[in-house]
Structure 1
Amino acid sequence: MDLQTKKILDFQLIQSNEVKGSTHMELEGLKRALGFLKDYVNIKEVVTDIHSSIKKYMRNSEGDIKHLFDVWHVAKGVSKKLEAAAKKRGGKDIRPWIKSIVNHIYWISSSCGMMGI
């Protein structure tokens, strides 16, 4: 999405039979979109979920593009880890803080002026 015009610049639809399996669809869609968009715009930043193959691809193949993570996925991941820790022996004191910690993650993201973390 172009942040100034608020318009979607490209959309890729990948079927699982086009790639090795469903886990490879997200990465293939990103590769195709970047390949298409690079012919028309200068890409400075990309915001994605926290997908391990995408992290590796961006680090190794697209090092000139800043890669950020979607704050919703970051907050969800932290929340799940805190919930798991709260269920463990001696972790009951964590649970009352989970909502505040997740809200703080959103506040950090919004106050620093970035879409992702």
Structure 2
Amino acid sequence: MRLEKPEIIHRFDVWHMAKVDMKKLSNSSQSENLVQRGKVKGCEIISLWSMSIINHLYWCAARSNGDGELVEQKWTSILNHFTNVHEGHGN
């Protein structure tokens, strides 16, 4: 598509990204990923926040008007909030 139809704007599918992230964040025993955030000692609370994190991902995509840089800035701002830093989130 990229080579044959360069005039078409291609974007990541937020639903697929959310599905992968949710699997990583969940504390499900079905997942075989041992480095899973919800299972790492001291990070158990992240699994409680998993739906809010996924909602933030959807919000980032919906409110950025197709601007990939803005999506990334909004998405990474969640790390600052986790560490109780509430300023300096980029543009």
Q: TM-score, normalised by structure 1?
A: 0.41
- Give 2:17's aligned residue: 74
Matched, 1:91 2:43: yes
Deviation at 1:71, TM superposition (A): 0.9
Higher strand share: 1
TM-score by length of 2: 0.50
In percent, how many aligned pairs have the same letter? 39
How many residue pairs get aligned? The number is 60
- C-alpha distance in 1, partners of 2:43/2:60? 25
- Which residue of the partner structure matches residue 65 of structure 2? 113
Q: What CA deviation, in whole Å up to 9, does each residue of 1:22-51 have, x standing for no partner? A: xxxxxxxx47xx53xx4xxx514113xxxx
C-alpha displacement of 1:88: 2.6
Q: CA deviation at 1:89?
A: 2.4
Structure 2 Cα separation of the partners of residues 78 and 97 of structure 1: 12
1:58-73 aligned within 5 A:
69-73=12-16
Deviation at 1:97, TM superposition (A): 0.8
**Unmatched 5+ stretches in structure 2:** 27-35, 72-91
Extract unaligned runs of 5+ from structure 1.
Answer: 1-29, 48-68
CA distance in 2, matches of 1:113, 1:89: 38
Q: Distance in 1 between matches of 2:40 and 2:56?
A: 23
Matching residue's letter, 1:105: L
Q: Deviations over 1:60-103 (max 9, x none)?
A: xxxxxxxxx11111222222222221023222111111100100
